[in-house]
Structure 1
């Protein structure tokens, strides 16, 4: 091989060698920097571990130490004290900036805050309004600022709930020592699920508060003196986060192996899934920062009086172009100018081509970003909607569901997505019609929105009525790819309608029964009166007197039936007064105990200090004897247990809401329970109708429970029945306490 001999060749080789030497020197030089984490090692900081162990920091000449945080060691103090050059913290960095700390945000890693309010799913609390007058455990001061402003946005002041100091112990919520606790969506819900307690998440985002979180930050001093290092650290960290999101299992293994994280693999996988949801790497570029969002965060702090309206964000948000030192680049450029000159013409052509290509790429990225933002906004609207949204593919499988649907179905998104909607949630009786309607839309026989109602079955087996509006979904080429279903829960409305219809029916029957009773009473009076006169004229030994006695007995039984009818129709109105219901129940149970068959065991659970009620002791006694008699009849063949319970009850709004005839307040609660033959649904729906009976001919009139219903209505109380075939029946009665209801006052107007 011949060596290059010309002066030009020698110069060219020298320049190339110089460039390589400068480049190598730059690569070998390693700046030592420290990154202070916000808390202990966990998947929350996955991107920084990836950047370190994949060599991203090393490739840009950085020797990075990742320092674990914890109690007494936080990123704010470490960066401010110069012990760390970079740190991870939340949106509260804005408050520190306002207080004079020279912090600069490089990139928000989490596009949404993981901060949430957590309640027990079985607590009956489903939204932030449900926390009024409840105990809420929060971080000290304004560390839970997004949650505090969510309360304010809903018009709930701090004196409308009892604030407790954060104990960092989820057992306080599990053991119900508090009603709600501030938590991280990535952590505490998992802990509750492992304890067998279903969590329910209340997100501040649903109430107009949307913070960035886990922000990578540095100091003004670092940017001023090491601008190039700041850029290198930022880009290497974001590359690490991109790697971590693509290889979560690898990072989980790294955390367990090298960082000795105590969490289980399943817990770390859960944390990784939840972090992906709030980072949204598939829709938004990792580390994307919108100044408008920071203005929103500043305005949120303004509501709490923590920051002034005229406070400026200037200098708080990082701009890569600020005060960068290009001197090393200039040295390399001038050192290589001779080499570049040899290829000037080709480079010029290549430059023009690349410029055109870059413009096209930029335009395409902008379009993709707009589409992603539109998709994000649409998903946010769906999540805060007050109706349920379910999206199905052409096979009927769920591919999208919003928070309202999860709340109604009482399932998590993970349990719903991927399941066949019709097989999992639609009742068997409604499946045929629902599948046909879906098939017609998928095959194009129905082109526009469709409206229908059907019954669905939720996770706990409860049936709900849903009114649906469905519309076909097509892709960019017009191909039909699924169906979007918008559903409104009509269950409570249906229940109220059924109760209203039943009440109206009972009122109508009562009016009819009252009229018949009066007419029948007049007839009985004539029969009994004339029969009594005939009996006076007949001797004791006369056969006619014995027949007259049977007429008298039948007339008396008829008069008792008339009395029951009048009680049912509320036309027989004995006086109501302050009544000791405890004594009434105990007296009735003595009579029932003495006459009950030997194969019936009677249990009494009667509490002390029962509220006195505003009622009639005789009618309450009649109610108890009637219900207990029916219970004994239901267990007469096989025997069983009759349990009578009496206790005080305070009815709240959330229980009284579905029952229009039951007002909030104090009640004496009577429960009559048996384990007899029970009733089917059809019988249970008609059990209070007069003359409806399942007993054999001659063993029942069918008027007893109708009379019970009438007595309870007159006492302004409430009665409910639950029953299953071969599993028994339970009647629950509420009698208003005496201090809750008073006799109506009558006012006399004197006319002059």
Structure 2
């Protein structure tokens, strides 16, 4: 039997191959079937191997992709590793950055050769993605480097000016005759200059010195200086060990209210990748909450993680504990939400820097403050604009059809009738509102003043009791006494304002103006701080907008005061363990909405229609007059042209207050005393 060789150019299908084999080879059918079965098994085995290899490659690539998908970012600190930056370490060690798919490197400000890196320089010049700074952020922006603030961790500046107890000092004017430590281009010196200007003094009257490194307790002991600037009160840690009495000057005592440590990035990164910035912010704030709630654990871990061979671990832990106490005071946690930003405080800081000649340009708040929600809203508006453009032609066709079916005469008549009816209705409503407001102010002024004074008087009593207790147990310090006096003075001023509030209730003396809703609420919380603390009630801010309301700021504060006091009373009458008040501020259409929600139980069905009625109260007659919520309603509806409502939640009651923005409230003309 002769075999036939096939050409290499002949290609056959499976069926053709069977024909060729049977044609050119004398192969029985049974043998042919066996060959086919063996050949299929051989190919199936080969395919399985290939598929297995492909699966391995895909798994490897998926693992590699996940590793590469972690966004790598660098955080530049403003000093060496210590509790000052505990929140960032906690976010790293607790896996909060991992949860947000972030791989974060936290860098000290000190290089291996002893140089100090400026966080603003590192971020602005692209060597780091995020940084920790303060007023230096505004200064860097004035050099045409665009930096954006993500979160203000320290709600107060950590700068203080210390001197020995025996140093003669009665007012800031005395600094002119004292050897005050100052050096050129020192960030700590900026707040000293601001204090001097606030008191009408020229900073140039105080000499500048050449001094390397930090100012320490030795500078005061050796009398090199009479007054030294210090960050985070670190000098007190050493003065207590040396048993040296010190006293301090705080910028806030002279109206200088700068933010302390704040997280920032570049405007470019905030605009190009806002989602990454938001993830970093979210993880960081979680880290700070953990660090402030677990200070002992963090103090020890920071000491053991960053120790050098020349340092004593126990001493570092003790120093971290000391810093933790100071940082808790500076963050106001948990009363104020971690990272909260008030844009207008940054604007005021910029104005002081401008007076000092440190900056010369203007500040753009929308660019300076990172607002993730606003960025998303802008993107949504951009997409909506595209859709409007696409549908414009269709809309024009519909308008043309409508115009054909309407005559100009009928349209004008209808519009005229509608306008006339609206004018008459508005006049009737205005007359009723004015009449009601005047009757409420005249008939119940005395009762309301007594009612509104009760809470401040209680707070004053609590402050006096605290002073007495501290004196009896020899714990009364000048600082705590000064703080008590200042809080008492604010309460007395508030009582004085209350008289004016009710005196001009129906016909306010001042003109309507824009005011910051958030600032008004914070001022009320500060007045009630002592009551909240002793009642173990925590106030939380959820969503906050810095949009302004329009009307009478003092009357709005009075209304919010009434609502929060009502929430406090409700919480004190319940057995709930976590006494909380949650506040949200947001803009809806042309109104600014404030929601105040407590966990003190709801309002029962049988009284739900009476809570705003005059003289209605669920309290004992010795504790309430039933005028608080009634007058709150009068203020919001009649004087501020807003609305107030409420609803039960699963834990308590949510009061909802809406006031107009500027341009919405048209009833702001012609008011006289």
Q: TM-score scaled by structure 2?
A: 0.46
More strand by share: 1
Higher relative contact order (CA 8 A, sep 6+): 2
More helix by share: 2
Q: TM-score scaled by structure 1?
A: 0.41
